[in-house]
Every structure is written in C-alpha cells, then in structure tokens.
Structure 1
Amino acid sequence: MTLVPLGDGDGPRIVSAADGRRFAVFPVDDGLRVTDAVCPHNGGPLEQGWLRDGRVVVCPWHWYRFDLDTGECETAPQHRLGTYPVVVRDGIACADVGEPTVELSWAERLRAHSRGES
C-alpha cells in the first residue's frame, strides 16, 4: 500500500507519489475523489477539466467524460480512468494508490507475449 497525502485546497489539484506517479484530486460534495492525473484517451490534464453533476470529470482536450467513483468513461467505454480510495491516517486525508507496476524488460514482454499473456 502506498499512501499519498492529498494536501489542502478547494479546487482540483495534482499530487505526486514518491515514485513519481501523479494523481488528480477532485473535491466533491461528500469528500474527495482521486484518479489518475491524465486522461486515458490521449493524456489530457484532468485537473484542468470540468466537474459535471458532482461526480463526472470532463477532459479539457477532447471532452471525454469519466465517472469519478467508478472510472467508467461515458464517452467511449473502452477507456477507463484509474480511481483510488481516500483514507484518513493520523487526521490526514491520503489516497491509497497501491504499488507501482513493475516495468518489464523487452525480453520479459516478448516471453509473456509468446506465452499468450499479453
């Protein structure tokens, strides 16, 4: 488990994990929602997007709409936004962003592909 403090602020913002991963934080009526920082469609900066209906973020680049609770894309179902639970530790709101994915070498990728794992 990797916890990332969410900091203070009234509007959407970016926070970073010690390993360099970045996440967008969105204040909503009943708390905070944390997602990947960039749109899975084409890498748009989601913290610059618009909040709609208190639960949907609209990417500022191509207007793809993502549910902040589930990560589901209302525009194109093949895209999914990573969402992360918010926990409070010692009075500080943090996101549980899990462990970073292990980057495979090209040789490991090719072996996995030949085994039908990719």
Structure 2
Amino acid sequence: MSLVRVDRPGVVESDDGRRFVALELPDGWRVVDAHCPHNRGPLEQGWVRDGRTLVCPWHWYRFDLDTGECSTSPQHVLGVHPVREIDGQVYADVGDPPRALSWSERLRAHARE
C-alpha cells in the first residue's frame, strides 16, 4: 500500500515518481491515473462532465470516476484509487508500483500493440 497526500486539485505524485490527478467533486475526492489508458493523454487537462465522468482532452474518451470504466471504448479502463481521510487529512491509496518487465516481456507487449 502506498499513500499519496491530497492537498488540492491537480497532479499529485507518489514517492516512487508515479503521477495521479486529484479531482475535488461535490460528493468528495477522486484520484485517478494521470494518463489516459487509450493514448496517454494528460488527464489533468481533461474536464469533468455531469460530476461523474472525466473526458480526456486528446480524443474525448470518457471515463466513469467511480469505476474507471470507459464509455467510449470498454477495452480501456482508467485506474481509480480509493480515497480516505486519516487524522483530518485526505490520502489516496495508489497501491504498489508495478513490477519492472523483463526485456522479453517488453518485446512481447510491444509486438501486441
């Protein structure tokens, strides 16, 4: 478990260098991955529609801020991280960093793309 402190809306960074976007909505905070899973668009430049949907500024992919599901293309899912309050401060549990891929895993992943 890795906690990231959320002080204000915008980009927040974990101790290991991963970046996330903190959004303050009327019903509470949401913390999501900083890049769109479709084509790595900068989600801090996106906009929130209907208080529940984040729209990527590059290709207008739409993501549910509660589940991460994409209504534009179901194969893409945005990382949504649980938010909790500890001693009056807001934190997001962004989990452990992904393990590094071996060269053969990288090559296979690149071939699949």
Q: Please confirm whether the aligned pair reaches a TM-score higher than 0.5, indicating the same fold.
A: yes
Q: What is the CA–CA distance in structure 2 between the aligned matches of 1:90 and 1:3, rounded to whole Å? A: 14
Q: What is the match of residue 40 of structure 1?
A: 37
Alpha-carbon separation, structure 2, partners of 1:104 and 1:73: 26
Q: Mean alpha-carbon deviation: is it higher for 50-59 or for 96-105?
A: 96-105
Instruction: Measure the CA separation in 1 of the matches of 2:68 and 2:19.
Output: 16
Give the partner amino acid of 1:92.
Answer: Q
Q: Which position in structure 2 is the counterpart of 1:86? A: 83
Residue 29 of structure 1 deviates from its aligned partner by 1.1
Q: Deviations over 1:20-56 (max 9, x none)?
A: 0000111111110110001001111111111101000
Q: Where do 5+ consecutive residues of structure 1 fail to align?
A: 114-118
Q: 1:62 aligns with which of 59, 63, 69?
A: 59
Runs of at least 4 residues of structure 1 off by over 4 A? none
Distance 2:76 2:92 in 1: 22
Tell me how large the CA RMSD over aligned residues is: 1.4
TM-score by length of 2: 0.89
TM-score calculated relative to the size of structure 1 = 0.85
Return the letter of the residue paired with 1:69: D
Q: Distance in 2 between matches of 1:27 and 1:49?
A: 14
Residue identity in the other structure for 2:86: R
1:81-101 superposed Cα distances (whole Å, 9 cap, x missing partner): 000000112211000011111
Distance 2:4 2:58 in 1: 26
| Bigger Rg, which one | 1
